[in-house]
Amino acid sequence: MKLDARLEAVRAFVPAGGTVADIGTDHGYLAAALVQSGQAERVIASDLNLGPCEAARRTVREANLRESIEVRQGDGLTVLAPGEAQTVCIAGMGGALMTDILAAAPLVMKKLQTLVLQPMNGAYELRHYLYTHSWHVADEALVVADDRIYTVIRAEKGRRKMPDALTLEIGPVLWERKPELLRHHIESLLFGARRAVAGMEKSERAKKSAKYKEAQKRIKALEERLVW
């Protein structure tokens, strides 16, 4: 199963062996690749909606993987029994939605060992949730697909010191290792921050707010992180 660069980066972060749950599986391509590569012994592929589940079942059937991949329709981690999977993958959703999915299933979370997460946005909120719930960022990667930079996070159990807010936004492991795409990543965060400030500057009331001052401070802090 040939994956695009984004899903390949997710696959690369999955520990070998055991059972993996692919939440929001869509067409089931990641699930199939995990089994075909020998990385996962079994995959539970789930999606909230019937259409993606049918597409995933078709992928599984055509790849002759019905003995190794089970497709379930359901909401988030509620498709799993505690201890049924060791690793959970969630890709292509916003960080806030991922946080809600994780928070909604504490008993399942308690038995998991690894989370592989690829947020489309809201990475700060997601990382903050992990650190406040006895998880931490063990590894991170930046990857380009379809002319966009994506962040992939591998989280593991274990309480660690909470990074500062800006490092949580950029990514603690990314900031520590300084990968090739890090400046592009920070520049994309800056673009969004400057656009938000430009919107506030259209209102005199907004320009006098604490939110505006905080946004300006954030821009300055991100600009300082471009130099190392």
Domain span at residue 207? 184-224
Same domain, 145 and 207: no
| Alpha-carbon dihedral sign for residues 107, 110, 112, 116 | positive
For residues 98, 46, 83 and 119, what is the CA-based torsion angle, rounded to 10 degrees? -20
Whether residue 109 sits in one domain with residue 30: yes
With respect to residue 170, please indicate whether it lies within any of the assigned structural domains: no
Same domain, 135 and 22: yes
Domain annotation covers residue 168: no
Domain membership flag for residue 72: yes
Tell me, yes or no, whether 158 lies in a domain. yes
Residue 178 lies inside a defined structural domain of this protein: no
| Ordered per-residue pLDDT tens for the chain, 228 residues | 789 999 999 999 999 999 999 999 999 999 999 999 999 999 999 999 999 999 999 999 999 999 999 999 999 999 999 999 999 999 999 999 999 999 999 999 999 999 999 999 999 999 999 999 999 999 999 999 989 999 999 999 999 999 999 999 999 999 999 999 999 999 999 999 999 999 999 999 998 899 999 999 999 999 999 999
Neighbours of 62 (CB within 10 A): 10
Domains held by the chain: number: 2
In terms of Cα–Cα distance, which of 130, 206, 144 is closest to 180?
Answer: 144
Tell whether 42 is covered by a domain.
Answer: yes
The answer to whether residues 92 and 20 belong to one domain is: yes
For residues 42 and 132, membership in a common domain is answered with: yes
Domain match, 194 and 155 both: no
pLDDT at 151: 98
190 and 155 within one domain = no
> Is 22 in the same domain as 77?
yes
| Angle 210-183-15 from CA coordinates, rounded to 5° | 105
- Does residue 171 lie within any of the structural domains? no
What is the pTM assigned to this prediction?
A: 0.94
**42-47 sheet: strands from edge to edge:** 69-73, 42-47, 19-23, 87-93, 114-119, 148-157, 135-145
Exposure string of 137-146, with b = 16+ CB inside 10 Å and e = fewer, is bbebbbbeee
The pLDDT value recorded for residue 1 is: 75
Distance CA 227, CA 98 (A): 31
